[in-house]
Amino acid sequence: MVNITIDGQKVAVPKTSTVLEAAISLGIKIPTLCYHPELRVEGACRVCMVEVEGARSLVASCVYPVNEGMIVRTNTANVREARKTVVELLLANHPTDCLSCQRNLSCELQTIASDLGVREVRFDGEKKNYPLDANNPSLVRDQSKCILCGRCIRACSERQGVHVYSFANRGFDTTVVPAFDLGLDEVACTYCGQCAAVCPTGAIVEKDDTEKVWNAISDPSKHVIVQTAPAVRVALGEALDLPNGTIVTGKMVTALKRLGFDKVFDTNFTADLTIWEEGSELIDRLTNGGKLPMITSCSPGWVNFIELKYPDLLDHLSSAKSPQQMFGALAKTYYAEKAGIDPKDIVSVSIMPCTAKKAEAARPEMNSSGYQDVDYVLTTRELARMIREAGLTFGKLEEADFDAPLGVGSGAGVIFGATGGVTEAALRTVVKLVTGNELDNIEFQAVRGMTGIKEAAVPIKDGLTAKVAIAHTLANARILLDKIRAGEADYHFIEIMACPGGCSGGGGQPIITSAEHRQKRMDAIYECDTCSDIRKSHDNPAVAELYETWLGKPLGEKSHHLLHTHYHP
Ligand code: HC1
């Protein structure tokens, strides 16, 4: 440990700490823009400057290491003036459309300018004016709003191992761009949205589809239904002034009804159905010599990644569609029939924690109902904006239940939203399918938690132990895929989710600010499971009824047509 003094307060910190980390441990807030607690430090923006006794000039606290006896001042006139100047220089060439920017009131540059008391910009800089990159279904890039903090570059490279972005040019012309300044639709972007999740300004945001949904709701000839993903219920409240990790399932259902949706359903229903289909596929591969390990296919950022980077391994992917797309296919067939509604009049909306889900819904093969199965996908952030726009006081809404029959989901379905959750849900059901017996203990701690790659060996019956592996983030996915290529992946089943923590940390969720914040969402997901009346997918009575009355059996002809898909090398 190293003893230092910051603003007159003594503190002992690990000797590998930076001055910024030491200040955070004392509860001293130093403004930062390029710094992100879960990414490598860069020292690019210089907003976090502090005085260190004996240093020749102000230092960037995010990269400056602590030393024994160091004396730091974070709030001197010099420091305040330097920070203000840096922020004013950033604002001097930044667009001034804050009021209409998607990040208005959640922009870190705006907040820091306000916190530092910037009331005028003393410099008259040339404005940047780049065209929008919006030729893809998921993300919009506006380089004019980019402050060159480099967070998106680091998230895409370090967290995801995808390496879409890099700096280009020099001086005023410096930009952050994909290779050759191509659009995101022209490079190997997975649309996971982790760049948007770390961007401090409105330079990278989700494509806003709220107006299309408002229009559908206003059209009296349309029957507008909505499904909500497992992870939305543990994050939506954060964007609507409730504490991190608040479970808002019932309020969310009420809000969706008040917005005007005709029916409010739960993606957990088709998460349970996925377990039936995917579990049956795994058993089929195990008994009939299919390709192993079988890998999950529900995270569309992950599916894009394997298609782009490891096309030789595509036959490892389960052919099961994601729960979002299974829901879409059933909404315009099974539900349409049951409700006596012409599928052409159904508008199917989903609320997802994920930007890649927008691209997934737009894939040309996702039309097995005869129509586009899911018409519009909104992220959690977009739904929060609609709720605000409608003037609902979210925290005061009463709670309501999902509608039947596509609103019945199990605890196994809800844990899809946390890394390891799909595996745990599958194990709960596969044991039953293989042995006919119910598990005594349905909680598999070995597959839970934030470790990047988890492994477990789970006894199923005499002579059969399921070897499973789980990765979250695409950088971790790469490690497992390289193992498969090298012939070293001795697993039966692999779960991969593109985002850190799984969907609870999706690129469309309210911005995560710390590891504790992330953990609160994960804890809330597991609380949703323990509070569920039904905790195993095979106990979901609505799914049982679907098979009995309409679908036939898992992997049957109708299932094959509606619930399974193929991939593009
Ligand atoms: Fe997910 Fe899934 S868990 S992919 O992370 O399988 O987005 O939440 O909806 O489809 O169910 C996302 C979450 C989500 C699907 C399910």
DSSP structure class, residue 510: S
| pLDDT average, residue stretch 442-450 | 96
Distance (angstroms) between ligand 1 centre and the Cα of 512 equals: 18
Same domain for 153 and 34, yes or no, is no
pLDDT in tens, 27-47: 999 999 999 999 999 999 999
Ligand 1: residue of 278, 299, 525 to mutate (most ligand atoms within 8 A of CB) is: 299
At 463, which CATH number? 3.40.50.1780
Q: On the CB side of 561, how many CA atoms lie within 13 Å of its CA?
A: 11
Distance from residue 292's CA to the centre of ligand 1 (Å): 23
DSSP code of residue 333 = I
- Residue 568 in any domain: the answer is no
Kindly provide the b/e burial profile for residues 549-561, where b requires at least 16 CB atoms within 10 angstroms of the residue's own CB: eebeebbeeebee
Listed residues 190, 206, 222: the one ending a domain: 206
Give yes or no: 281 in active site.
yes
| pLDDT exceeds 90 at position 68 | yes
Q: Residue 354 falls within a domain, yes or no? A: yes
Determine, yes or no, domain membership for 381: yes
318 classed as catalytic: yes
Q: Residue 492 C-alpha to ligand 1 middle, in angstroms?
A: 22
Q: Span 319-331, mean pLDDT?
A: 98
DSSP 161: S
Is 455 one of the annotated active-site residues of the chain? no
Is the pLDDT confidence value at 569 over 90? no
Same domain, 154 and 32: no
Segment 258-284 mean pLDDT: 97
pLDDT band at residue 461 under the 50/70/90 scheme: confident
Check residue 125 and give its pLDDT. 82
Q: Is 379 left (phi over 0), alpha (psi -120 to 50) or beta?
A: beta
Task: Decide: 137 in ligand 1 pocket, CB within 6 A.
Answer: no
Give the pLDDT score at 294: 98
pLDDT tens string 290-306? 999 999 999 999 999 99
Question: What count of other Cβ atoms lies within 10 Å of the Cβ of residue 262?
Answer: 16
The average confidence (pLDDT) of the chain is: 97
Question: Would the pLDDT of 462 be above 90?
Answer: no
What's the Cα-to-Cα distance from 61 to each of 71, 113, 307, rounded to whole Å? 13, 19, 41
Q: Length of the chain, please?
A: 569
Give the pLDDT band (50/70/90) at residue 247: very high
Q: Are residues 221 and 354 in the same domain?
A: yes
Task: Please tell me whether residues 52 and 148 are part of one structural domain.
Answer: no
Whether residues 40 and 116 share a domain: the answer is: no
Q: Does one domain contain both 184 and 262?
A: no
Same domain? For 277 and 302 the reply is: yes
Residue 307 and residue 260 share a domain = yes
Is there a domain that residue 411 lies in? yes
**What pLDDT, on the 0 to 100 scale, is given for residue 53?**
97
Do 178 and 234 share a structural domain?
Answer: no
Q: Is residue 360 part of a domain?
A: yes
Q: Take residue 227 and report the two structure tokens written for it.
A: 């499904």
Q: What is the pLDDT of residue 463?
A: 86
**CA–CA distance, 213 with 375 (Å, rounded to integer):** 9
CA distance 206 to 209: 9
User: Would you call 488 a catalytic residue per the annotation?
Assistant: no
Average pLDDT rounded to a whole number, residues 167-185? 96
* N-term to C-term CA, the chain: 52
| 318 within 8 A of 297, measured Cβ to Cβ | yes
* Strands 346-352 and 223-228, bridge-based pairing: parallel
**Looking at 196-248, which runs of residues are DSSP E strands?**
204-206, 223-228
Give residue 278's pLDDT: 97
Residue 497 CA, closest ligand 1 atom number: 5
Residue where a domain stops, chosen among 90, 122, 143: 90
Q: Ligand 1 atom closest to Cα of 230? A: 8
Mark whether 182 and 300 lie in a shared domain: no
Strand partners for 464? 461
Q: Distance between CA 98 and CA 327 in Å, rounded? A: 38
> Residue 354 half-sphere exposure, CB side, CA atoms within 13 Å?
31
State how far the Cα of 376 lies from the Cα of 132, in Å rounded to an integer. Answer: 22
Rounded distance from Cα 72 to ligand 1 centre (Å): 46
- Break the chain down into helix, strand, coil percent, rounded to 5: 45, 15, 40
Average pLDDT value for residue range 49-57:
97
Q: Using CA positions, which residue lies closest to atom 14 of ligand 1?
A: 229
The pLDDT of 249-264, averaged and rounded, is: 98
CATH number at residue 34: 3.10.20.740
Active-site entry in 53, 81, 337, 365: 365
For residue 197, the model assigns a pLDDT of 98
Ligand 1 atom nearest 324 alpha carbon: 10
With contact defined as beta carbons under 8 Å apart, do 28 and 93 qualify? no
Q: Do 368 and 254 lie in a common domain?
A: yes
pTM value?
0.96
Ligand 1 atom, smallest distance to 353 CA: 7
- The alpha carbon dihedral of 480, 486, 490, 491 has a sign of positive
Helix (H) or strand (E) holding 219: none
Cα pseudo-dihedral 547, 548, 549, 551, rounded to 10: 30
Give the number of other CB atoms < 10 A from CB of residue 187: 16
* pLDDT given for residue 134 in this prediction: 98
Q: Is 278 a catalytic residue?
A: yes
State the residue range of the domain holding 323: 211-563
Give the pairing of strands 204-206 and 223-228. Answer: unpaired
C-alpha span between 179 and 156 (Å, rounded): 13
Look up 263 and say whether it is catalytic: no
Cβ neighbour number for residue 362 with a 10 Å cutoff: 15
In the chain, the number of structural domains is 3
Atom of ligand 1 nearest to the CA of 325: 10
From atom 1 of ligand 1, which residue's Cα is the shortest distance away? Answer: 503
If asked whether residues 49 and 125 sit together in one domain, one would say no
- Specify if 569 maps to a domain: no
Tell me what the mean pLDDT of segment 543-552 comes to.
98
Whether 288 maps to a domain, the answer reads yes
Percentage of residues of the chain with pLDDT beyond 70: 100
Exactly one of 207, 332, 357, 536 is catalytic; name it. Answer: 357
Place of tokens 């997802």: 352
- Domain assignment of residue 437, yes or no: yes
Final residue before a domain boundary, out of 73, 90, 107? 90
Amino acid at 524: A
CATH number at residue 124: 3.30.70.20
Bridge partner residues of 317 (DSSP): 295
